[in-house]
């Protein structure tokens, strides 16, 4: 079976840090599957070359828009291009991962899932989150999507709302189509669960993919705590120049009160 992990990079180079960290996290799981980045025309040559050097195969894609869509966030404007993953018919099965996801452990078992599979959205559990999806590419399905795209409702103005309209029966599908929540864990949920001493242990097993929806870790300074720390650790493996000595000293601190952190800094 031909399969690949696929992500989307669009909106110029804005999501480059996300794709770099995602790729590094996939490689760290020891997967032998291909990594494919669908790139819109506004992604720079430099970014393409850098991603290729890190093991990504680049596939150029044309934009895809929904007429009259009113995106929840301006960055949702390009997201319908994600549907072009259905056009990657050289693959029998694709695991589509948002550029703002990070893989914590090997998830190759997702390629054994039936079409179509996704995990519930934390905000509306009877709908799926489109940040992690298992799909079988098909030009026929893609054509059907494009046919209904402009008229179909989308509750969030983005691809997720549209796809939930397109796969309206997802919640009623047999259980294999519904991925456990750990395959698409919002970073703020993970952060909350980690604070709980009992949940912490089951989390080690169950947390497979963190999804940095809404707040992107690379839009803030390197974080020393919370789920953003996972992302920064992975990103620092790609960019060791960011991995400073003081960061390690601060990480080692048990007591992270302001005074202790400052002490670690200036030592």
The contact set with Mn ion (CB under 5 A) reads 98, 100, 131, 213
Helix, strand, coil share of the chain (percent; to 5)? 45, 15, 40
Q: Which is nearer to Mn ion, 100 or 156 (CB)?
A: 100
**Contacts (Cβ under 8 Å, ≥6 apart) of 163:** 83, 128, 130, 133
**128: nearest Cα among 116, 140, 142:** 116
**Distance in Å, CB of 130 to Mn ion, minimum:** 8
End-to-end CA distance of the chain: 55
**Distance in Å, CB of 262 to Mn ion, minimum:** 35
Q: Which is nearer to Mn ion, 8 or 117 (CB)?
A: 8
Instruction: Measure the CA–CA gap between 112 and 119, rounded to whole angstroms.
Output: 15
The values of phi and psi at residue 39, to 5°, are -120, 135
**Distance in Å, CB of 100 to Mn ion, minimum:** 4
**Distance in Å, CB of 34 to Mn ion, minimum:** 21
Closest chain position to Mn ion (CB)? 98
Q: Which is nearer to Mn ion, 137 or 158 (CB)?
A: 158
**Distance in Å, CB of 211 to Mn ion, minimum:** 6
**Distance in Å, CB of 70 to Mn ion, minimum:** 19
Q: Which is nearer to Mn ion, 30 or 74 (CB)?
A: 74
Q: Which is nearer to Mn ion, 131 or 182 (CB)?
A: 131
**Distance in Å, CB of 215 to Mn ion, minimum:** 11
Q: Which is nearer to Mn ion, 87 or 129 (CB)?
A: 129
Instruction: Measure the CA–CA gap between 106 and 191, rounded to whole angstroms.
Output: 21
DSSP assigned state of 178? B
Instruction: Measure the CA–CA gap between 47 and 12, rounded to whole angstroms.
Output: 9
DSSP assigned state of 174? -
The values of phi and psi at residue 74, to 5°, are -55, -35
Q: Which is nearer to Mn ion, 130 or 233 (CB)?
A: 130
**95: nearest Cα among 78, 118, 79:** 118
Answer yes or no: are the C-beta atoms of 81 and 51 closer than 8 Å. no
């Amino acid at each position: 079976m031909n399969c690949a992990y696929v992500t989307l990079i669009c909106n110029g180079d804005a999501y480059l840090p996300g794709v770099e960290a995602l790729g590094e996290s996939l490689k760290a799981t020891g997967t032998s599957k291909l990594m494919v980045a669908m790139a819109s025309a506004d992604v720079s040559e430099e970014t393409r070359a850098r991603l290729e050097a890190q093991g990504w195969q680049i596939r150029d894609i044309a934009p895809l828009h929904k007429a009259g869509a009113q995106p929840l966030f301006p960055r949702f404007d390009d997201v319908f291009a994600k549907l072009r993953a259905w056009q990657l018919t050289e693959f029998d099965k694709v695991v589509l991962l948002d550029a703002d996801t990070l893989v914590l452990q090997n998830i190759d078992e997702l390629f054994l899932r039936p079409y179509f599979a996704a995990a519930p959205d934390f905000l509306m559990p009877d709908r799926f989150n489109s940040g992690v999806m298992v799909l079988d590419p098909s030009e026929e399905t893609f054509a059907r999507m494009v046919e209904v795209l402009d008229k179909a409702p989308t509750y969030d103005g983005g691809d997720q709302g549209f796809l939930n309209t397109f796969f309206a029966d997802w919640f009623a599908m047999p259980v294999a189509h519904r991925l456990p929540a750990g395959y698409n864990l919002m970073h703020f949920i993970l952060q909350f669960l980690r604070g709980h001493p009992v949940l912490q242990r089951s989390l080690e097993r169950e947390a497979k993919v963190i999804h940095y929806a809404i707040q992107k870790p690379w839009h803030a300074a390197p974080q020393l705590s919370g789920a953003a720390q996972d992302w920064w650790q992975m990103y620092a493996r790609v960019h060791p120049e960011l991995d400073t000595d003081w960061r390690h000293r601060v990480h080692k601190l048990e007591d992270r009160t302001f005074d202790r952190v400052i002490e670690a800094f200036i030592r």
